[in-house]
Structure 1
Amino acid sequence: MNQSLVATMSPDVVIDRLLVDGGVAAVAREDLLTGGTKQRAIIPYLQQFMSEGATAFVYASPAPGFAQVALAHSTGLLGVECFLFCETHAGNFHEYALLAETYGAKIRACASLDDAEREAAEFTSEDPLKIKLPLGFGSPDYISHLQRALTLEWTHVVEELGGEPRALWLPVGSGTLATTFREILSSSVTVHCVDVRVLDVNDSRIRRLAATQGVVMHRSEQMFMEAANVSPPVPSNAYYDAKLWPLVKVQANHGDLWWNVAR
Protein backbone atom coordinates (compact mmCIF):
# COMPACT_ATOMS: atom_id res chain seq x y z
CA MET A 1 0.00 0.00 0.00
CA ASN A 2 1.26 3.46 -0.89
CA GLN A 3 1.22 5.06 2.57
CA SER A 4 2.37 8.42 1.21
CA LEU A 5 -0.59 8.58 -1.15
CA VAL A 6 -2.98 7.51 1.64
CA ALA A 7 -1.65 10.31 3.85
CA THR A 8 -1.95 12.86 1.04
CA MET A 9 -5.59 11.93 0.50
CA SER A 10 -6.42 12.18 4.21
CA PRO A 11 -4.87 15.37 5.64
CA ASP A 12 -5.79 16.74 9.05
CA VAL A 13 -9.37 17.99 9.12
CA VAL A 14 -9.77 21.79 9.04
CA ILE A 15 -12.21 23.27 11.58
CA ASP A 16 -13.94 26.65 11.27
CA ARG A 17 -16.61 28.30 13.43
CA LEU A 18 -20.07 29.53 12.48
CA LEU A 19 -22.62 31.64 14.32
CA VAL A 20 -25.87 29.76 14.95
CA ASP A 21 -28.93 30.71 16.98
CA GLY A 22 -27.62 28.67 19.92
CA GLY A 23 -24.15 30.23 19.95
CA VAL A 24 -21.06 29.19 17.99
CA ALA A 25 -20.93 25.84 16.18
CA ALA A 26 -17.92 24.25 14.55
CA VAL A 27 -17.78 23.06 10.95
CA ALA A 28 -15.46 20.45 9.49
CA ARG A 29 -14.30 21.90 6.19
CA GLU A 30 -14.21 18.71 4.13
CA ASP A 31 -15.17 20.87 1.14
CA LEU A 32 -11.44 21.64 1.03
CA LEU A 33 -10.71 18.06 -0.08
CA THR A 34 -10.87 17.34 -3.82
CA GLY A 35 -13.16 14.38 -3.28
CA GLY A 36 -14.66 15.34 0.08
CA THR A 37 -14.71 12.98 3.07
CA LYS A 38 -15.18 9.92 0.85
CA GLN A 39 -11.62 10.26 -0.43
CA ARG A 40 -10.16 9.63 3.04
CA ALA A 41 -10.59 5.87 2.72
CA ILE A 42 -10.82 5.25 -1.01
CA ILE A 43 -7.15 4.58 -1.88
CA PRO A 44 -6.58 1.56 0.43
CA TYR A 45 -10.05 0.27 -0.49
CA LEU A 46 -9.27 0.29 -4.21
CA GLN A 47 -5.79 -1.10 -3.65
CA GLN A 48 -7.32 -4.20 -2.06
CA PHE A 49 -9.05 -4.99 -5.35
CA MET A 50 -6.00 -4.05 -7.39
CA SER A 51 -3.87 -6.51 -5.43
CA GLU A 52 -6.22 -9.20 -6.75
CA GLY A 53 -5.91 -8.02 -10.35
CA ALA A 54 -8.69 -5.43 -10.72
CA THR A 55 -8.12 -3.16 -13.71
CA ALA A 56 -11.20 -0.89 -13.58
CA PHE A 57 -13.81 0.42 -11.16
CA VAL A 58 -17.45 1.03 -11.96
CA TYR A 59 -19.95 3.14 -10.04
CA ALA A 60 -23.60 4.14 -10.41
CA SER A 61 -23.96 7.70 -9.19
CA PRO A 62 -26.84 9.98 -8.25
CA ALA A 63 -26.63 13.10 -10.40
CA PRO A 64 -25.08 15.39 -7.74
CA GLY A 65 -23.29 12.63 -5.82
CA PHE A 66 -19.75 13.58 -4.80
CA ALA A 67 -18.50 10.01 -4.37
CA GLN A 68 -18.11 9.92 -8.15
CA VAL A 69 -15.56 12.74 -7.87
CA ALA A 70 -13.65 10.97 -5.09
CA LEU A 71 -13.54 7.78 -7.14
CA ALA A 72 -12.45 9.45 -10.37
CA HIS A 73 -9.76 11.48 -8.60
CA SER A 74 -8.43 8.36 -6.85
CA THR A 75 -8.42 6.06 -9.87
CA GLY A 76 -6.58 8.77 -11.79
CA LEU A 77 -3.86 8.79 -9.13
CA LEU A 78 -3.71 4.97 -9.14
CA GLY A 79 -3.65 4.67 -12.93
CA VAL A 80 -6.71 2.44 -13.33
CA GLU A 81 -9.87 2.97 -15.36
CA CYS A 82 -13.05 4.45 -13.91
CA PHE A 83 -16.50 4.06 -15.47
CA LEU A 84 -19.35 6.14 -14.08
CA PHE A 85 -22.98 5.42 -14.87
CA CYS A 86 -24.46 8.79 -14.03
CA GLU A 87 -28.04 9.73 -13.33
CA THR A 88 -28.79 12.81 -15.40
CA HIS A 89 -31.00 15.77 -14.56
CA ALA A 90 -33.26 17.13 -17.30
CA GLY A 91 -31.20 15.00 -19.69
CA ASN A 92 -27.90 16.64 -18.78
CA PHE A 93 -24.85 15.49 -16.88
CA HIS A 94 -24.46 17.13 -13.48
CA GLU A 95 -21.41 19.35 -13.03
CA TYR A 96 -19.92 16.74 -10.69
CA ALA A 97 -20.05 14.07 -13.39
CA LEU A 98 -18.27 16.49 -15.72
CA LEU A 99 -15.73 17.21 -12.97
CA ALA A 100 -15.15 13.47 -12.57
CA GLU A 101 -14.58 13.27 -16.32
CA THR A 102 -11.73 15.79 -16.04
CA TYR A 103 -9.99 13.31 -13.73
CA GLY A 104 -10.17 10.64 -16.41
CA ALA A 105 -13.49 8.90 -15.69
CA LYS A 106 -15.54 7.61 -18.60
CA ILE A 107 -19.10 8.81 -17.98
CA ARG A 108 -22.31 7.33 -19.30
CA ALA A 109 -25.73 8.96 -19.05
CA CYS A 110 -28.61 7.14 -17.34
CA ALA A 111 -32.20 8.31 -16.90
CA SER A 112 -32.40 7.37 -13.21
CA LEU A 113 -30.31 5.97 -10.37
CA ASP A 114 -32.10 2.62 -10.76
CA ASP A 115 -31.13 2.57 -14.43
CA ALA A 116 -27.57 3.50 -13.54
CA GLU A 117 -27.33 0.62 -11.05
CA ARG A 118 -28.75 -1.84 -13.57
CA GLU A 119 -26.53 -0.73 -16.44
CA ALA A 120 -23.41 -0.70 -14.25
CA ALA A 121 -24.20 -4.25 -13.09
CA GLU A 122 -24.65 -5.41 -16.67
CA PHE A 123 -21.39 -3.74 -17.69
CA THR A 124 -19.40 -5.64 -15.06
CA SER A 125 -21.24 -8.95 -15.18
CA GLU A 126 -18.90 -10.68 -17.63
CA ASP A 127 -15.57 -9.21 -16.53
CA PRO A 128 -14.39 -10.06 -12.99
CA LEU A 129 -11.57 -7.52 -13.28
CA LYS A 130 -14.07 -4.68 -13.56
CA ILE A 131 -15.29 -4.02 -10.00
CA LYS A 132 -18.68 -2.44 -9.37
CA LEU A 133 -18.67 -0.45 -6.14
CA PRO A 134 -21.85 -0.02 -4.06
CA LEU A 135 -23.70 3.25 -3.53
CA GLY A 136 -21.70 5.47 -1.19
CA PHE A 137 -19.00 2.74 -1.15
CA GLY A 138 -21.15 1.08 1.50
CA SER A 139 -19.21 -2.16 1.87
CA PRO A 140 -17.63 -3.61 5.05
CA ASP A 141 -14.10 -3.21 3.65
CA TYR A 142 -14.56 0.44 2.76
CA ILE A 143 -16.24 1.16 6.09
CA SER A 144 -13.31 -0.46 7.89
CA HIS A 145 -10.86 1.87 6.13
CA LEU A 146 -13.15 4.84 6.78
CA GLN A 147 -13.39 3.97 10.48
CA ARG A 148 -9.61 4.08 10.79
CA ALA A 149 -9.35 7.39 8.91
CA LEU A 150 -12.17 9.08 10.82
CA THR A 151 -10.98 7.81 14.20
CA LEU A 152 -7.70 9.60 13.57
CA GLU A 153 -9.45 12.74 12.36
CA TRP A 154 -11.72 12.75 15.38
CA THR A 155 -8.67 13.04 17.65
CA HIS A 156 -7.73 16.17 15.69
CA VAL A 157 -11.28 17.51 16.09
CA VAL A 158 -11.22 16.99 19.87
CA GLU A 159 -7.80 18.64 20.14
CA GLU A 160 -8.91 21.62 18.04
CA LEU A 161 -12.16 22.11 19.97
CA GLY A 162 -10.63 21.44 23.38
CA GLY A 163 -13.07 18.63 24.04
CA GLU A 164 -15.56 16.34 22.39
CA PRO A 165 -18.61 18.05 20.88
CA ARG A 166 -21.95 16.98 22.31
CA ALA A 167 -23.52 16.60 18.88
CA LEU A 168 -22.44 15.90 15.30
CA TRP A 169 -24.58 16.93 12.30
CA LEU A 170 -24.29 14.84 9.13
CA PRO A 171 -26.02 14.56 5.73
CA VAL A 172 -27.36 11.12 4.86
CA GLY A 173 -27.39 9.77 1.32
CA SER A 174 -26.54 6.07 1.46
CA GLY A 175 -25.95 6.22 5.22
CA THR A 176 -22.34 4.98 5.01
CA LEU A 177 -20.73 7.99 6.68
CA ALA A 178 -23.34 8.29 9.43
CA THR A 179 -23.14 4.59 10.25
CA THR A 180 -19.36 4.79 10.42
CA PHE A 181 -19.35 7.82 12.71
CA ARG A 182 -21.93 6.28 15.03
CA GLU A 183 -19.69 3.24 15.44
CA ILE A 184 -16.53 5.18 16.29
CA LEU A 185 -17.96 7.93 18.52
CA SER A 186 -18.65 7.65 22.21
CA SER A 187 -22.25 7.29 23.34
CA SER A 188 -22.11 10.81 24.77
CA VAL A 189 -22.11 12.28 21.23
CA THR A 190 -25.53 12.54 19.61
CA VAL A 191 -25.46 12.12 15.83
CA HIS A 192 -28.03 14.26 14.03
CA CYS A 193 -28.62 12.73 10.60
CA VAL A 194 -30.36 14.69 7.86
CA ASP A 195 -31.82 12.42 5.19
CA VAL A 196 -31.45 14.30 1.90
CA ARG A 197 -33.80 11.81 0.22
CA VAL A 198 -31.45 9.92 -2.09
CA LEU A 199 -33.16 6.74 -0.86
CA ASP A 200 -36.80 6.07 -0.10
CA VAL A 201 -37.75 6.64 3.52
CA ASN A 202 -38.57 2.93 3.79
CA ASP A 203 -35.20 1.79 2.43
CA SER A 204 -33.58 -0.64 4.87
CA ARG A 205 -30.46 1.53 5.17
CA ILE A 206 -32.50 4.54 6.27
CA ARG A 207 -34.71 2.53 8.60
CA ARG A 208 -31.71 0.83 10.21
CA LEU A 209 -29.97 4.15 10.81
CA ALA A 210 -33.12 5.74 12.23
CA ALA A 211 -33.44 2.87 14.71
CA THR A 212 -29.83 3.18 15.91
CA GLN A 213 -29.33 4.33 19.48
CA GLY A 214 -27.74 7.76 19.70
CA VAL A 215 -29.06 8.87 16.30
CA VAL A 216 -31.63 11.63 15.80
CA MET A 217 -33.10 11.47 12.31
CA HIS A 218 -34.23 14.52 10.35
CA ARG A 219 -35.51 14.64 6.78
CA SER A 220 -34.99 17.39 4.27
CA GLU A 221 -38.19 19.12 3.25
CA GLN A 222 -36.81 19.43 -0.28
CA MET A 223 -36.62 16.64 -2.81
CA PHE A 224 -33.16 15.28 -3.53
CA MET A 225 -32.88 16.86 -6.99
CA GLU A 226 -33.86 20.29 -5.65
CA ALA A 227 -30.93 22.54 -4.81
CA ALA A 228 -30.94 23.98 -1.29
CA ASN A 229 -33.06 27.10 -0.88
CA VAL A 230 -30.53 28.74 1.41
CA SER A 231 -26.78 28.82 0.84
CA PRO A 232 -24.62 28.18 3.91
CA PRO A 233 -21.61 30.37 4.77
CA VAL A 234 -19.11 27.74 3.55
CA PRO A 235 -18.86 26.01 0.13
CA SER A 236 -21.26 23.07 0.32
CA ASN A 237 -22.95 20.59 -2.01
CA ALA A 238 -26.32 22.22 -2.76
CA TYR A 239 -28.06 18.83 -2.99
CA TYR A 240 -26.52 17.28 0.12
CA ASP A 241 -24.65 19.19 2.82
CA ALA A 242 -26.18 22.61 2.17
CA LYS A 243 -29.58 21.22 3.16
CA LEU A 244 -28.30 20.87 6.72
CA TRP A 245 -27.69 24.57 7.18
CA PRO A 246 -31.29 25.65 7.95
CA LEU A 247 -31.45 22.96 10.66
CA VAL A 248 -27.96 23.63 12.00
CA LYS A 249 -28.59 27.38 12.09
CA VAL A 250 -31.75 27.00 14.18
CA GLN A 251 -31.35 23.75 16.12
CA ALA A 252 -27.61 23.29 16.74
CA ASN A 253 -26.33 24.20 20.18
CA HIS A 254 -23.15 26.01 21.14
CA GLY A 255 -20.22 23.65 20.53
CA ASP A 256 -22.00 21.30 18.11
CA LEU A 257 -20.10 20.17 15.00
CA TRP A 258 -21.40 20.14 11.42
CA TRP A 259 -19.43 17.80 9.17
CA ASN A 260 -19.54 19.50 5.75
CA VAL A 261 -18.76 16.47 3.59
CA ALA A 262 -18.10 18.08 0.21
CA ARG A 263 -18.45 21.23 -1.81
Structure 2
Amino acid sequence: GGDEEGDGYETDHQDYCEVCQQGGEIILCDTCPRAYHMVCLDPEMEKAPEGKWSCPHCKEGVQWEAKDENSELEAEGDVELEECVLGEPEEEEDDHMEFCRVCKDGGELLCCDACPSSYHIHCLNPPLPEIPNGEWLCPRCLCPQMKGKVQRILHWKWGEPPPPTPVPRPPDADLDAPSPKPLEGRPERQFFAKWVGMSYWHCSWVSELQLELYCSVMFRNYQRKTDMDEPPTFDFGVEDDGKSSKRKNKDPQYAQLEEQFYRYGIKQEWMMIHRILNH
Protein backbone atom coordinates (compact mmCIF):
# COMPACT_ATOMS: atom_id res chain seq x y z
CA GLY A 1 0.00 0.00 0.00
CA GLY A 2 1.18 3.51 -0.68
CA ASP A 3 3.53 1.92 -3.23
CA GLU A 4 5.05 4.17 -5.80
CA GLU A 5 4.02 3.77 -9.44
CA GLY A 6 6.36 1.82 -11.66
CA ASP A 7 6.48 -1.60 -9.97
CA GLY A 8 5.28 -3.24 -13.18
CA TYR A 9 1.75 -4.05 -11.97
CA GLU A 10 -1.42 -2.61 -13.43
CA THR A 11 -3.66 -0.47 -11.27
CA ASP A 12 -6.81 1.57 -11.83
CA HIS A 13 -5.14 4.59 -10.23
CA GLN A 14 -4.69 7.88 -12.01
CA ASP A 15 -1.14 8.34 -13.32
CA TYR A 16 -0.83 11.99 -12.27
CA CYS A 17 -0.83 13.91 -8.98
CA GLU A 18 -4.24 15.00 -7.68
CA VAL A 19 -2.85 18.41 -6.62
CA CYS A 20 -0.58 19.59 -9.45
CA GLN A 21 -1.93 17.32 -12.23
CA GLN A 22 1.63 16.28 -13.23
CA GLY A 23 3.07 12.76 -13.52
CA GLY A 24 6.32 11.42 -12.08
CA GLU A 25 6.99 9.51 -8.86
CA ILE A 26 3.63 9.36 -7.11
CA ILE A 27 2.16 7.47 -4.16
CA LEU A 28 -1.16 5.70 -4.60
CA CYS A 29 -4.09 5.81 -2.20
CA ASP A 30 -5.26 2.36 -1.05
CA THR A 31 -8.92 3.37 -0.70
CA CYS A 32 -9.54 5.38 -3.90
CA PRO A 33 -7.94 5.88 -7.35
CA ARG A 34 -6.12 9.11 -6.42
CA ALA A 35 -2.34 9.56 -6.50
CA TYR A 36 -0.04 12.27 -5.08
CA HIS A 37 3.52 13.56 -5.13
CA MET A 38 4.82 13.43 -1.56
CA VAL A 39 5.80 17.14 -1.75
CA CYS A 40 2.28 18.11 -2.88
CA LEU A 41 0.65 16.72 0.27
CA ASP A 42 -0.14 19.10 3.10
CA PRO A 43 1.93 18.63 5.23
CA GLU A 44 4.39 17.17 2.73
CA MET A 45 5.66 13.65 3.30
CA GLU A 46 9.34 12.87 3.85
CA LYS A 47 9.23 9.22 2.74
CA ALA A 48 6.72 6.81 1.21
CA PRO A 49 4.35 5.34 3.82
CA GLU A 50 4.59 1.66 4.74
CA GLY A 51 1.52 -0.57 4.70
CA LYS A 52 -1.93 0.76 3.79
CA TRP A 53 -2.19 4.50 3.13
CA SER A 54 -5.29 6.65 2.63
CA CYS A 55 -5.11 10.05 0.95
CA PRO A 56 -6.41 13.34 2.49
CA HIS A 57 -9.66 13.00 0.53
CA CYS A 58 -10.41 9.58 2.04
CA LYS A 59 -9.35 10.59 5.55
CA GLU A 60 -11.76 13.53 5.45
CA GLY A 61 -14.92 11.50 5.72
CA VAL A 62 -14.76 8.34 3.67
CA GLN A 63 -12.50 6.46 6.07
CA TRP A 64 -15.26 3.88 6.63
CA GLU A 65 -14.33 2.33 3.24
CA ALA A 66 -10.89 1.57 4.60
CA LYS A 67 -12.44 0.25 7.82
CA ASP A 68 -14.56 -2.19 5.81
CA GLU A 69 -11.44 -3.87 4.49
CA ASN A 70 -10.34 -4.63 8.06
CA SER A 71 -13.51 -6.70 8.45
CA GLU A 72 -11.71 -9.48 6.55
CA LEU A 73 -9.40 -9.81 9.56
CA GLU A 74 -12.35 -9.92 11.93
CA ALA A 75 -13.97 -12.64 9.82
CA GLU A 76 -11.02 -14.94 10.54
CA GLY A 77 -12.03 -15.05 14.20
CA ASP A 78 -15.69 -15.93 13.56
CA VAL A 79 -16.07 -17.78 16.86
CA GLU A 80 -14.77 -14.86 18.92
CA LEU A 81 -16.98 -12.50 16.97
CA GLU A 82 -20.08 -14.60 17.66
CA GLU A 83 -19.28 -14.76 21.37
CA CYS A 84 -18.96 -10.99 21.35
CA VAL A 85 -22.35 -10.54 19.73
CA LEU A 86 -24.03 -13.10 21.98
CA GLY A 87 -22.51 -11.50 25.06
CA GLU A 88 -23.94 -8.04 24.29
CA PRO A 89 -27.05 -8.41 22.12
CA GLU A 90 -28.22 -4.82 22.69
CA GLU A 91 -24.94 -3.31 21.42
CA GLU A 92 -25.59 -2.93 17.69
CA GLU A 93 -22.51 -1.35 16.12
CA ASP A 94 -23.20 1.97 14.43
CA ASP A 95 -20.49 3.52 12.31
CA HIS A 96 -22.36 6.81 11.90
CA MET A 97 -20.82 10.08 13.01
CA GLU A 98 -21.96 11.24 16.42
CA PHE A 99 -22.01 14.88 15.33
CA CYS A 100 -23.61 16.86 12.51
CA ARG A 101 -21.46 17.14 9.39
CA VAL A 102 -22.47 20.80 8.95
CA CYS A 103 -22.29 22.39 12.43
CA LYS A 104 -20.18 19.67 14.17
CA ASP A 105 -22.58 19.55 17.16
CA GLY A 106 -24.29 16.44 18.56
CA GLY A 107 -27.97 15.95 19.41
CA GLU A 108 -30.77 14.31 17.45
CA LEU A 109 -29.21 13.40 14.10
CA LEU A 110 -30.52 12.07 10.81
CA CYS A 111 -28.18 9.29 9.61
CA CYS A 112 -27.52 8.50 5.97
CA ASP A 113 -28.44 4.96 4.88
CA ALA A 114 -25.45 4.65 2.56
CA CYS A 115 -22.51 6.26 4.41
CA PRO A 116 -21.48 7.31 7.98
CA SER A 117 -22.64 10.95 7.60
CA SER A 118 -25.12 12.42 10.11
CA TYR A 119 -27.00 15.75 10.01
CA HIS A 120 -29.40 17.86 12.01
CA ILE A 121 -32.53 18.23 9.90
CA HIS A 122 -32.32 22.05 10.33
CA CYS A 123 -28.71 22.08 9.06
CA LEU A 124 -29.63 20.51 5.70
CA ASN A 125 -30.13 22.82 2.74
CA PRO A 126 -33.06 23.27 2.41
CA PRO A 127 -33.92 22.17 5.99
CA LEU A 128 -36.35 19.29 6.56
CA PRO A 129 -39.38 19.82 8.80
CA GLU A 130 -39.15 16.28 10.27
CA ILE A 131 -37.15 13.05 10.11
CA PRO A 132 -38.19 11.41 6.80
CA ASN A 133 -39.66 7.89 6.67
CA GLY A 134 -37.88 5.09 4.85
CA GLU A 135 -34.41 5.19 3.33
CA TRP A 136 -32.65 8.56 3.31
CA LEU A 137 -29.48 9.45 1.39
CA CYS A 138 -27.38 12.45 2.42
CA PRO A 139 -26.24 15.32 0.14
CA ARG A 140 -22.77 13.74 -0.22
CA CYS A 141 -24.20 10.46 -1.52
CA LEU A 142 -26.54 12.28 -3.92
CA CYS A 143 -23.83 14.67 -5.14
CA PRO A 144 -23.37 14.26 -8.94
CA GLN A 145 -19.93 13.39 -10.34
CA MET A 146 -18.07 16.20 -12.11
CA LYS A 147 -17.65 16.11 -15.89
CA GLY A 148 -13.87 15.82 -15.64
CA LYS A 149 -10.74 16.61 -13.65
CA VAL A 150 -10.48 20.21 -12.41
CA GLN A 151 -7.30 21.94 -13.60
CA ARG A 152 -7.96 25.29 -11.96
CA ILE A 153 -10.64 27.13 -9.99
CA LEU A 154 -11.09 30.53 -11.64
CA HIS A 155 -13.78 32.30 -9.61
CA TRP A 156 -16.65 31.80 -7.18
CA LYS A 157 -20.09 33.38 -6.70
CA TRP A 158 -23.17 32.89 -4.54
CA GLY A 159 -25.72 30.67 -6.30
CA GLU A 160 -29.49 30.69 -5.98
CA PRO A 161 -30.84 28.94 -2.85
CA PRO A 162 -32.49 25.55 -3.48
CA PRO A 163 -36.31 25.47 -3.62
CA PRO A 164 -37.93 25.66 -0.14
CA THR A 165 -39.24 22.50 1.57
CA PRO A 166 -43.02 22.47 2.09
CA VAL A 167 -44.05 21.91 5.72
CA PRO A 168 -46.98 19.49 6.23
CA ARG A 169 -50.03 20.92 7.97
CA PRO A 170 -50.38 19.56 11.54
CA PRO A 171 -53.26 17.01 11.67
CA ASP A 172 -54.98 18.89 14.54
CA ALA A 173 -54.74 22.33 12.85
CA ASP A 174 -57.91 24.38 12.23
CA LEU A 175 -59.17 24.33 8.65
CA ASP A 176 -59.02 28.13 8.64
CA ALA A 177 -55.43 28.22 9.92
CA PRO A 178 -52.89 29.37 7.32
CA SER A 179 -50.57 26.68 5.91
CA PRO A 180 -47.18 26.52 7.63
CA LYS A 181 -44.48 28.57 5.94
CA PRO A 182 -42.10 26.48 3.76
CA LEU A 183 -38.52 26.14 5.05
CA GLU A 184 -36.22 28.37 3.01
CA GLY A 185 -32.90 27.14 1.64
CA ARG A 186 -29.61 29.05 1.89
CA PRO A 187 -27.55 30.32 -1.07
CA GLU A 188 -24.50 28.13 -1.70
CA ARG A 189 -21.16 28.95 -3.30
CA GLN A 190 -20.59 27.95 -6.91
CA PHE A 191 -17.14 27.69 -8.46
CA PHE A 192 -16.07 28.32 -12.06
CA ALA A 193 -13.79 25.45 -13.08
CA LYS A 194 -11.30 24.98 -15.93
CA TRP A 195 -11.11 21.28 -16.85
CA VAL A 196 -8.01 19.21 -17.62
CA GLY A 197 -7.73 18.44 -21.34
CA MET A 198 -10.56 20.85 -22.30
CA SER A 199 -10.31 24.38 -23.63
CA TYR A 200 -11.57 27.48 -21.79
CA TRP A 201 -14.77 27.23 -23.87
CA HIS A 202 -15.71 24.27 -21.67
CA CYS A 203 -15.29 26.05 -18.30
CA SER A 204 -18.40 25.51 -16.17
CA TRP A 205 -19.86 26.00 -12.69
CA VAL A 206 -19.66 23.30 -10.01
CA SER A 207 -20.96 23.18 -6.45
CA GLU A 208 -18.90 23.54 -3.29
CA LEU A 209 -19.79 19.97 -2.30
CA GLN A 210 -18.51 18.59 -5.62
CA LEU A 211 -15.13 20.26 -5.08
CA GLU A 212 -15.03 19.11 -1.46
CA LEU A 213 -15.70 15.49 -2.48
CA TYR A 214 -13.84 15.11 -5.76
CA CYS A 215 -11.10 17.74 -5.63
CA SER A 216 -10.44 18.28 -1.93
CA VAL A 217 -6.73 19.19 -1.90
CA MET A 218 -6.96 21.80 -4.68
CA PHE A 219 -10.16 23.15 -3.08
CA ARG A 220 -8.48 23.53 0.33
CA ASN A 221 -5.56 25.38 -1.27
CA TYR A 222 -8.01 27.70 -3.06
CA GLN A 223 -9.90 28.36 0.21
CA ARG A 224 -6.63 29.25 1.95
CA LYS A 225 -5.77 31.92 -0.61
CA THR A 226 -9.27 33.29 -1.27
CA ASP A 227 -11.79 35.32 0.72
CA MET A 228 -14.72 32.90 1.09
CA ASP A 229 -17.15 35.50 2.47
CA GLU A 230 -17.11 37.97 -0.41
CA PRO A 231 -16.88 36.69 -4.01
CA PRO A 232 -13.92 38.04 -6.04
CA THR A 233 -14.61 41.19 -8.05
CA PHE A 234 -15.24 40.77 -11.77
CA ASP A 235 -12.19 40.94 -13.98
CA PHE A 236 -12.78 42.99 -17.13
CA GLY A 237 -9.38 42.18 -18.58
CA VAL A 238 -7.28 44.91 -20.16
CA GLU A 239 -10.21 46.99 -21.37
CA ASP A 240 -11.54 49.58 -18.97
CA ASP A 241 -15.25 49.62 -18.18
CA GLY A 242 -16.01 52.42 -20.62
CA LYS A 243 -14.56 50.66 -23.66
CA SER A 244 -16.01 47.36 -22.58
CA SER A 245 -19.56 48.70 -22.22
CA LYS A 246 -19.37 50.48 -25.63
CA ARG A 247 -18.24 47.27 -27.26
CA LYS A 248 -20.97 45.27 -25.51
CA ASN A 249 -23.61 47.64 -26.90
CA LYS A 250 -22.29 47.24 -30.45
CA ASP A 251 -21.51 43.53 -30.43
CA PRO A 252 -24.06 41.18 -28.79
CA GLN A 253 -21.71 38.17 -29.17
CA TYR A 254 -18.98 40.00 -27.22
CA ALA A 255 -21.57 40.86 -24.55
CA GLN A 256 -22.50 37.19 -24.23
CA LEU A 257 -18.84 36.09 -23.99
CA GLU A 258 -18.15 38.81 -21.43
CA GLU A 259 -21.12 37.63 -19.35
CA GLN A 260 -20.11 33.96 -19.61
CA PHE A 261 -16.28 34.02 -19.59
CA TYR A 262 -14.32 37.30 -19.63
CA ARG A 263 -15.67 38.69 -16.35
CA TYR A 264 -14.37 35.57 -14.55
CA GLY A 265 -10.76 36.21 -15.53
CA ILE A 266 -10.66 34.36 -18.87
CA LYS A 267 -8.72 36.38 -21.43
CA GLN A 268 -9.98 36.75 -25.01
CA GLU A 269 -6.81 35.24 -26.48
CA TRP A 270 -7.40 32.05 -24.45
CA MET A 271 -10.65 31.56 -26.39
CA MET A 272 -9.02 31.76 -29.83
CA ILE A 273 -9.36 28.64 -31.97
CA HIS A 274 -5.88 27.83 -33.33
CA ARG A 275 -6.69 25.03 -35.73
CA ILE A 276 -9.51 22.69 -36.67
CA LEU A 277 -8.44 19.05 -36.39
CA ASN A 278 -11.51 17.34 -37.84
CA HIS A 279 -15.07 18.02 -38.94
So what's the TM-score if we normalise by structure 2? 0.25
Structure with larger Rg: 2
- Which structure carries more helix by proportion? 1
Q: For CA contacts below 8 A with separation 6 or more, give which structure has more relative contact order.
A: 1
So what's the TM-score if we normalise by structure 1? 0.26
- Which structure carries more strand by proportion? 1
